[in-house]
Structure 1
């Protein structure tokens, strides 16, 4: 009885220490708490979540599994990103159904991201303990929890895919280690159990892959885990481990072929602004530039400095001078450091070697070595790699303490954690609004085309036109051939009635390569170009441009109104009536459309219809001076039987 009581008394403090140790990474995750109050939709969240019918649960499962992450069909003539992540999309759809239309807001979606990250931090803590790194489990998992690059995964909803895929990784690794521990106790690996384990890992790999493409590499990690975890002395166990590794790699190849068949390959066309390296004609420039990106990823993994939501042209310029570019030294440093760690792992630290596997293997899909990715640098892509970084750090620290008995590596890691906590909290605060994010990134990365453009867009939306023009022009100073930025400048000129300046921008766009425009948004260019020509009285030139734009997207009331204005000004009354009536189908409460239609009816002599149109316009906007003028003209015409004064047509502009 005394022995049992003594065992219980000694185990309780140990249990309390374990619980206390596991709380630290969860507490670090509180850094992300402010983001659960952020109500703004950021950048691509509008396309991936809010306007994506798949993510809103408005389509069938069949359609979800046949579309890419953005809701575009994988098969057919339409453009597709090749990002096949149906489970990540379904996570949004399930939240939409649970919350309902009224509560489908960014806040609960970000809360879910933060909760999954906290769970992953606990899984990292548990993984480190299962690998025998108990002394460093809490500190290393805290470094994972507070890593600044994770802010993009949690605040930016598009980053959820990486978080979910990593959850699959961690669960598979923990299950694998538990099964292997039991096999090692018996010094035997049953064939049926090995097949079942590969099947389990394959299922988890499929689930992870359906969250993010890199999840498929879980099976390569499984094979490496078998080889690294196998202890010497058990021949039968070693033979079984090799067999299991072969099975895992075979399963990986089969699933990879299946995945490529579903997405019909992995090649997709990405814009020059997003991925300029792939467009350079020199093989050596492309190769060294990609290698430099790898070294920059390494820097972000260990000591992240200034972060950015998008490292577009020309944040990280290509290495045009190759060997004469000093950045080549960072490439050499990164790869020599990696080889040194691999050498040390092969010599005396299998757990560190396992950590390096978790760093390298998930990174391969983002490396541009086998297929092109749609970003220059994507901080969210490092999410699974930080698990490996935590494992490497814990293995190095524990090994050093065991051999030398010194505590300075732990103190260094605590200092690094302090930096992570500060940078993570700062980055979460920078994401509080689009303006705050873009201002911070523009200060850190003044040569990033998209950052300066997006800051200009925010200022434009706020009506701060001159400040927006400064940012748009700064973006064009970096890359002048960017039609989308020129179009934004032209819109400001339209809204401020500087039509000749707007026309100059449109003429520049039409002489260039149309960078930033594609089949889905090309209508904007032609509609606004035609609108500007109408405002300048060049009606015959305006009509073809407006018709071309409206044929691509008819739901543009200000474009329909401008086209009707042009027809009416050329006395093509029937065409004007048809177009203005079509505009009212899309915006039935628009006073300008009603007033212009009434003008067409007045000119045609249909005074009764004109009176009805003007009455509708006055009901909507009783203080509209043009409508009031047309009412007075109609009254004079009603008394004399003919128009004694010309009615006025009007334009209005709605930003696209």
Structure 2
């Protein structure tokens, strides 16, 4: 098969063929699960941060100043702008085809599927969406409360700032803002790239489930954090490497990590056994979501 090669002003070669293969594989991934389309965004992030070693903060500053150096190198170096445009155009085409197949309209959901999205108050919707984000983040950190269905009253709505669950929102954004500041402002270029890459892999695949662009038909769905777990693993590994350099007793830290790994392996085996029969699956859900009418009825 022919492989089209382009050369930029600096003499760097890059292949259109592999970019097109990436778009095709993204389309196949979306046929398996809608979230698969986000892999094109992840490819763009990887290309910019790892291959081109782009400084995001510097790029933003140049864009705001309308710096002409972007045209002489920078973003155009190694054909980055062309590749990203090709990826985004392919992604937009795939989404358009899917939109046509779906009848040019979103699927219909009911209030029991996603109560927050039907709330009249913008404040209630926003605060509950952010609470759902914090719950997804907690499931990444501690995947202990697992349930096959989180709808039908499983998670009561937050309707006022006096609800103690607001603490979860504050903790989530405190951590995210801290990581973003480190990713953008750190003087260590390696640290900047690792943190930005980890945050990109954490956030971008989750966007389709965020309710920001369209209403989704669930409150929480553990399947939507499969891809974001890549970003979580990058951040966790980098954090462990920093701690291991500073820790006086590295063996204790290593044992702790191995203990966490062992606990999660055991939890994975237990969860797999619960999916072997419908009765075990529903019994496990009763302890997690006793307010879920679907679980109680079944």
**Global fold match (TM > 0.5):** yes
CA distance 1:231–1:287, shift in 2 (3 Å): closer
Using the alignment, how far apart are the partners of 1:194 and 1:284 within structure 2?
Answer: 47
SS of alignment partner, residue 278 of structure 1: helix
**Structure 2 residue 285 is the aligned partner of structure 1 residue 437:** no
SS of alignment partner, residue 32 of structure 2: coil
1:384 maps to which of 218, 221, 227: 227
Using the alignment, how far apart are the partners of 2:207 and 2:254 within structure 1?
Answer: 30
**What is aligned with 1:57?**
none
CA distance 1:367–1:265, shift in 2 (3 Å): farther
CA distance 1:239–1:319, shift in 2 (3 Å): same
CA distance 1:265–1:339, shift in 2 (3 Å): farther
Q: Contact conserved, 2:153 with 2:291, CA < 8 A, in 1?
A: yes
Query: What is the TM-score with the length of structure 2 in the denominator?
Result: 0.79
1:324 maps to which of 158, 162, 179: 162
**Structure 2 residue 200 is the aligned partner of structure 1 residue 357:** yes
CA distance 1:450–1:336, shift in 2 (3 Å): same
Using the alignment, how far apart are the partners of 1:413 and 1:206 within structure 2?
Answer: 37
2:295 maps to which of 451, 454, 467: 451
Q: Contact conserved, 1:274 with 1:313, CA < 8 A, in 2?
A: yes
Using the alignment, how far apart are the partners of 1:320 and 1:445 within structure 2?
Answer: 20
CA distance 1:430–1:269, shift in 2 (3 Å): same
**Structure 2 residue 28 is the aligned partner of structure 1 residue 207:** yes
Using the alignment, how far apart are the partners of 1:394 and 1:442 within structure 2?
Answer: 34
Using the alignment, how far apart are the partners of 1:440 and 1:232 within structure 2?
Answer: 46
**What is aligned with 2:16?**
195
**What is aligned with 1:297?**
136
User: What is the number of equivalent residue pairs in this alignment?
Assistant: 265
Q: 1:406 offset after TM fit, Å?
A: 5.8
Q: 1:287 offset after TM fit, Å?
A: 1.6
Using the alignment, how far apart are the partners of 1:427 and 1:405 within structure 2?
Answer: 36
2:172 maps to which of 315, 334, 349: 334
CA distance 1:359–1:413, shift in 2 (3 Å): same
SS of alignment partner, residue 106 of structure 2: coil
Q: What is the CA deviation profile of residues 168-201 of structure 1, one whole-angstrom value per residue up to 9, with x for unaligned ones? A: xxxxxxxxxxxxxxx9xxx8532xx342232121
Alignment of 1:196-595 (within 5 A): 196-229=17-50, 230-231=52-53, 239-240=77-78, 241-265=80-104, 267-321=106-160, 323-346=161-184, 347=186, 348=188, 349=191, 350-402=193-245, 407=250, 409-454=253-298
Q: 1:237 offset after TM fit, Å?
A: 8.8
Runs of 5+ unmatched residues, structure 1 = 1-182, 455-656
Q: Contact conserved, 1:188 with 1:236, CA < 8 A, in 2?
A: no
Q: 1:232 offset after TM fit, Å?
A: 7.2
CA distance 1:231–1:316, shift in 2 (3 Å): same
Q: Contact conserved, 2:48 with 2:54, CA < 8 A, in 1?
A: no
CA distance 1:249–1:403, shift in 2 (3 Å): farther
Q: Contact conserved, 2:35 with 2:224, CA < 8 A, in 1?
A: no
CA distance 1:188–1:402, shift in 2 (3 Å): farther
Using the alignment, how far apart are the partners of 2:104 and 2:122 within structure 1?
Answer: 22
Q: 1:409 offset after TM fit, Å?
A: 4.5
Question: Aligned-pair RMSD on alpha carbons?
Answer: 2.6
Q: What is the CA deviation profile of residues 99-122 of structure 1, one whole-angstrom value per residue up to 9, with x for unaligned ones? A: xxxxxxxxxxxxxxxxxxxxxxxx
Q: 1:345 offset after TM fit, Å?
A: 2.9
Using the alignment, how far apart are the partners of 2:215 and 2:241 within structure 1?
Answer: 38
Using the alignment, how far apart are the partners of 1:326 and 1:266 within structure 2?
Answer: 38
Q: 1:431 offset after TM fit, Å?
A: 2.4
Using the alignment, how far apart are the partners of 1:334 and 1:265 within structure 2?
Answer: 35
Q: 1:430 offset after TM fit, Å?
A: 2.3
Q: Contact conserved, 1:223 with 1:246, CA < 8 A, in 2?
A: no
Using the alignment, how far apart are the partners of 2:214 and 2:84 within structure 1?
Answer: 25
CA distance 1:391–1:263, shift in 2 (3 Å): same
Q: What is the CA deviation profile of residues 472-493 of structure 1, one whole-angstrom value per residue up to 9, with x for unaligned ones? A: xxxxxxxxxxxxxxxxxxxxxx
SS of alignment partner, residue 274 of structure 1: coil
4+ runs of 1 displaced by more than 4 Å? 235-238, 402-406
Q: Contact conserved, 1:313 with 1:450, CA < 8 A, in 2?
A: yes
Q: What is the CA deviation profile of residues 54-80 of structure 1, one whole-angstrom value per residue up to 9, with x for unaligned ones? A: xxxxxxxxxxxxxxxxxxxxxxxxxxx
Using the alignment, how far apart are the partners of 1:232 and 1:310 within structure 2?
Answer: 41
Q: Contact conserved, 2:124 with 2:158, CA < 8 A, in 1?
A: yes
Using the alignment, how far apart are the partners of 2:248 and 2:16 within structure 1?
Answer: 43
| Of 356-365 and 413-422, the range deviating more from structure 2 | 413-422
**What is aligned with 1:532?**
none
Greater RCO structure (CA 8 Å; 6+ sep): 2
CA distance 1:254–1:421, shift in 2 (3 Å): same
Using the alignment, how far apart are the partners of 1:237 and 1:273 within structure 2?
Answer: 46
CA distance 1:237–1:366, shift in 2 (3 Å): closer
